[in-house]
Structure 1
Amino acid sequence: MSMAGKQSGTQTGAYVKTTETVLGQTEVYNYQRMGFNKGFVRFSPDSRYLAVGSETGEVLLFNTKGSLVWRKNMGLGKITAVEFSPDGQSILIGENSPQGYLFSLAAKDGRELWRQASVNELGANIKEKTFPGVVAVKTDANGMIYAVAQRYIRQPDGRNEYIGRIYKFTPEGEQVGLFPSDHNLDAWVSWISVDAAGERAYFATANYDIAKYKYDRSIYCLDGRLETVLWSNIVDVAHPYQNVAMRTSPEVSANGRYTAAIASDGRCFLFDGIQGKELWRRSISQPQKIAGVYINATGNYVQMFGEYVVFTTGNTYNRANWQLPTPVESPSSNSLFVFDLQGNLMNNYKFGGMIEQIAAGSRQAALAVGRNVRSKDLSVHGLYIVTIPEAQLVDRVATDGPCIAADISADGKYAAGIEAPIQLDDGRVVGEYKLVLLTRQE
C-alpha cells in the first residue's frame, strides 16, 4: 500500500475515507446463517446527498461531506428497499411490517409525504409473523413508481406459499396500476426493472420447490400500465436442479432494447427486451459433483453498463444442504464477470467474499464484499470500486466485519458502504454496524 493509501484510509488512495458513522446495534450473526444483516445506501441523482436505510428501522440523510441532515425512525417495520425519485425531491422506502408500507419522504427534511399499504392485497398473520413487505422499488424517467410487495409463508408440512403483487404509483402516491389486477402472484417475485420511458416492466420468479404454479415462467415483461403480459420466457432447468431461480433479476437497459438476467445455478442470459427472444446465455459457474455432492457458486446479481453487462457470483454451496461445508470452493465463486452485448467475456475479477450488493456508476462499479462462508477470511471484507469494462481495482476500503451495502454516485465522486458485525467460530465478534463514506481524490 502506498503512503497515499495509508493516509486516505483506503488501499490505493484514489478515494479518501470521509466519515465513519455507527448506525446502531443490530443482531450479530455467524457464518452458519444463510441470511444476514441488511442495509441500504443510495446517492441522490445530483450526487449531493446519501440516503441510508438501516437494519434498525431508521432512515438517515447525509450530505456528501458526511454531515447528518436528518434521521427518522420508521416505526416497527424492517426496511427492505430505499430509492430516490429521479428529481431527488423524495425518498421511497419499502418496509416489511403488518401493513407492508411503501413510504414517500421529503428529501429536504424527512417529512412523510404519503404511504401506501400492501396488506389489503397480501394479508398478514401476526401470530405466525408472516408480514407483507415492499421488497423492490424502481422509477422511470417521469418519476412513476413501480413496487413489488410479497409475503412468504412456510407451511407446517414443508410447503412454500408465495403471495405477491406489483404496484404502480404516481409521484404523488396515487395507485394507477396493479398486477395481477384481481388476484395475487403465486410465485416468489422480489425484483423489478423498468425502462426509462416507462413502457415496459420486467420481473422474474424464484420458487424453492417444484409445485405447480400459475406464474410458472422464468421471466415476464409487462406493459408500462401493468395491464398486459407482453411476453414471457421459460428457461430450461439445469441439472441437477429442479427449477430455475432468478432472485435479483432482471435488469433492463435504459432504452429497453436489452434485458439481462442471472439464475442461481450460475447461468446468465441476455434477452431482446422488446420481443423476448433469448439472444445468448453463458455459464459462469457450472455445477460440479465433488466427493458425492453437487456444488456451485450461486449466480447473484446483474447490472447493465451501457454497452456491457455485469454478472456476479456468490459463495459456493452444497446443493443437498447449504449448511454443510463444501469439499472445495468453486473457482468461479465471489467474482464479477463483464460481457459485451454480443456475449463475449471481456474481463473478470475475483473478490474472495460474497458480493452482497453491486451499484453502477458511469464507468465504475461499487461492490460490497462480505462473508466467505468456506474460507472465513476476514481480510476480503470491504467496499471495492472497480472500472467497467476493464474490471480493474480503483480503490478499496477494508472493513472488519462483512460489507453488506454499496453505492456509488452518478458522477463517481463518492462511494458508500455499510459494515455489519459477525460472530466468529470462537465466539468473538468482529466489526460493527456502521456507514463508511468515501470521496474521490481530485
Structure 2
Amino acid sequence: MLISIWLSQVLFSGAVAGENFSPRVPGISLLFRIPLEDVSFYVRAGHLPDAFLAFSPDGGLLAVGTFLGRLIVTSTKDGRILWQKRIPEAMVKRVAFSQDGRTIYFGEQSPDGFIYAVSATDGHPRWRFRLADDLLPGTPPEKGDIYGIYRQPGCYRLKVLEDGDLLVLGIHSWPDKKRGYWRRLSRVYRLSPSGRLRWAWPREGPAELSLIYADSDKKGLRVAVVSTLPSDQLPPEYPYTPGTIYVLDGQRGKEVGRYRIPPLRPYYDRVSVWESVAVDPQGEFAVVATSDGRGFIIDLKKIKPSKILALGTPIMVGGLPVSAMSSYSLISPRREIYFQTDTSSIPYGLNVSGNRPAGPHPNANTIWAVNPRGHILWRFSAPFRFQGLASDARGKVLATAAGASARGREASHQYGVFVFKTTRPGGGLEKLIGYYPTRGPVFFHLALSPDGNLLALCETPYLDELGRQIGSYQVHVLKIKGQLKEARR
C-alpha cells in the first residue's frame, strides 16, 4: 500500500491490474509484447527464468534469448516475429549484434557452451565456437532439475568491440563427481568477426575459479575481469585469487596488472561481486561494486583505486550493523558512473541471531551517479530494490529494473522499470521520465535502443501467497516519449 501511494504521488500512476492491462505512464508507452514459453514448472519451484535482449544498431530489430533455448528476432515497427530458432538442451545466455547489424552473435549455456554467429536476416548459421573445448563438457540436466542448466559451460559476457571483434567470457561451475568436489573453470576470449581465436586468458588454460564478469573499453584495448569463488581444494600457492580485478592488454591478451580487493573486516571475511565491473569507454579507469557496499574506481594505468566510495557500507542501527549491498554498475558513453545499492541487510560475515536488520540503511535502494573523480552528481532513492542498468549509445537515457514485495498479513508486490533522462538539470527526481509497472518481476538484463527511443524488458511470473501464478514470461517493448524528436536533430 505504501509503495502504491509513493508511486501515485511521484509519478501519477496506479497499481497494475489485469493480465492485459496497458498502463498509461507519463514519458513511456507500450508498443507491443512478445509472449515467450511456458515456464510455470520453474515458477512453481520458486525460480525466475533468465532472458537476454539486444537491439540492432539501427533499432529496427530486437533479438530475444530465452531460458528454454529460443532465439527470437522481431521487427520493432510492429512486433512481428521475423524468425526464430530453438537450441536444444540450452539456455540462450547472451545476444549481440555486429556493428553493421547483419550478424547476430549469441552464446548459450549448455553441455557444449557454443558461441554462434548467424545471419540477422534469416538465422542462417555462419560459424560457432565451442567453450567446452576449454571448460570441459557438461552433463545434460536430469528431467526436473531446475538448476541443472546453470551447471553447464556458458557464455557470461558477449561484447562487440569497435573493430567488430568479440569479447567473450566463459564459465563452467559444477560438482565434479570424478574428483569429488566443486570445480569452477573460467576463461576470457577475443574472437575475430569470423570466429577466429585471437587470444585467450589465462594463456596456460582456464582459471580454476569464477571470473564472474568482464568488460572493456570500446576498442578493446583494456579489459578488466573480476574473480569470485575458486574451485574447492585449490593449493594456497595457486596464481589466481578470488576477489581480484585483473587488467589485461586487450590486443595481446596479456595480464598487465591486478588489484586484490581487501575484505571489509570485521563485517565480511571475503569479497563478493556480481555483474558489477565496467570499463570507461576510453579505457582510463574501471569500476567495480562489492556486496559489502563499496564502490571502487580503479585507475587502469596505476591499477589501484583512485577512489573508494562508501555507498552502503555497514553502520550501526539498534546496536547491530546494517549494510546495503552494492550490486550493479555501469559507465555510460558520457563517462558517467552509475552504482546501485540494494535493500538493507545484516552483513553475512557476522555471527548474529536473526536475519533482519534492526532498521534501514540510509543509503539502501539508491541509484548513484558519480563522475570519474568519484564526486556525486545525483542520486535517486525509492522503496524499491533496483537491479540492472542499461544506457543508450549516447548516454542520455538510463533504465533500471525495480521491484518491491512484502509477504505476510499485508502482502504487496510492485514491479516495473524506472527510466531517466540523464541530461535534464537537477537531481534524480527531476531526471525521472517515468515508471512502467509490470505484473511480475522484471529480469535485470534490460536493453535500450542505441538512439534511446525504445526500451525492452522481460517480465517473469511469480507465485503469490496463495500459490497463484501472477504475471507472464513475456517481453515488453516500450516507446520513450520525447526522445525521437531529439534524436533527429
Instruction: Give the alignment's TM-score, normalised by structure 1.
Output: 0.89
Residue 379 of structure 1, CA deviation: 4.8
Please say if residues 179 and 226 of structure 1, whose CA atoms lie closer than 8 Å, have aligned partners that are also in contact.
no
- Alignment of structure 1 residues 157-236 onto 2, 5 Å: 160-207=182-229, 212=236, 213-216=238-241, 218-236=244-262
Secondary structure of 2:194's match?
A: coil
Q: Is the 8 A contact 2:183 2:231 kept in 1?
A: no
**How far apart are 1:320 and its partner, in Å?**
4.2
Between 1:22-31 and 1:247-256, the stretch displaced more is 22-31
What amino acid is aligned across from residue 283 of structure 2 in structure 1? G
Match of 2:457 among 407, 417, 421: 417
1:116 alignment partner, SS class: strand
Q: 1:415 to 1:108 in 2, by over 3 A?
A: same
**Is 1:408 matched with 2:433?**
no
User: Shift in Å at residue 388 of structure 1?
Assistant: 2.4
Q: In the alignment, does 2:125 pair up with 1:112? A: yes
The alignment status of 1:399 with 2:438, answered yes or no, reads yes
Q: How does 1:14-413 map to 2 (within 5 A)?
A: 14-27=27-40, 36-65=48-77, 66-126=79-139, 130-154=151-175, 160-207=182-229, 212=236, 213-216=238-241, 218-239=244-265, 240-288=267-315, 295-305=322-332, 306-320=334-348, 325-327=355-357, 328-361=359-392, 362-370=395-403, 372=405, 378-388=412-422, 390-391=427-428, 392-404=431-443, 405-413=445-453
- 1:282: Cα distance to partner? 0.4
C-alpha separation between the residues in 1 aligned to 2:305 and 2:132? Answer: 36
Is the radius of gyration larger for structure 1 or structure 2?
A: 2
Identity of aligned residues (%): 22
Superposition deviation, residue 435 in structure 1: 0.7
Asked if the contact 1:351–1:369 (Cα under 8 Å) also holds between the matched residues in 2, the reply is no
Give secondary structure in 1 for the equivalent of 2:275.
coil
User: 1:288–1:377: structure 2 CA closer, same or farther, 3 Å change rule?
Assistant: farther
Distance 1:98 1:293, change over 3 A: farther
C-alpha displacement at 1:397, in angstroms? 1.5
2:209 alignment partner, SS class? coil
Deviates more, 1:363-372 or 1:172-181: 363-372
Q: 1:63 to 1:426 in 2, by over 3 A?
A: same
Structure 2 counterpart SS, 1:120: helix
Q: Deviations over 1:318-344 (max 9, x none)?
A: 44499x752344443332111112211
Structure 1 residues 127, 53: closer, same or farther in 2, change over 3 A? closer
Distance 1:74 1:319 in 2: 41
Which letter does structure 1 place at the counterpart of 2:481? Q
- Cα distance change, pair 16–268 in 1 and its aligned pair in 2 (3 A): same
* Structure 1 pair 11–28 and aligned structure 2 pair: CA distance change class (3 A): farther
1:58-87, CA deviations, whole angstroms, 9 ceiling, x for partnerless residues? 111122222222211122111221222222
In the superposition, relative to structure 1, how do residues 247 and 374 fare at CA in structure 2: closer, same or farther (>3 Å)?
farther
The Cα of 1:353 is off from its aligned counterpart by 3.3
Computed over aligned residues only, the root mean square deviation of the Cα atoms, in angstroms, reads 3.2
Structure 1 distance, partners of 2:481, 2:421, is: 16
Q: Secondary structure at the match of 1:439?
A: strand
User: Does the CA contact (< 8 Å) of 2:276 and 2:330 recur in 1?
Assistant: no
* 1:99-136 deviation line (CA, Å, top 9, x unaligned): 01111121111222211111111113417754211111
Is the contact made by 1:81 and 1:94 (CA closer than 8 Å) also made in structure 2? yes
Alpha-carbon distance in structure 2 between the residues aligned to 1:289 and 1:126: 47
Using the TM superposition, give the Cα deviation of residue 288 of structure 1 relative to its aligned residue in structure 2, in angstroms: 4.5
Map Cα deviations across residues 129-153 of structure 1 (whole Å, 9 max, x no partner). 5421111111210011111111112
Distance in 1, Cα, partners of 2:273 & 2:289:
6
- What is the CA-CA distance between 1:193 and the residue it aligns to? 0.9
Deviations 1:8-51 (A, max 9, x none): 94454322110122111114667996x73211111112222211
- How far, CA to CA, are the matches of 2:205 and 2:115 in structure 1? 20
Aligned length: 440
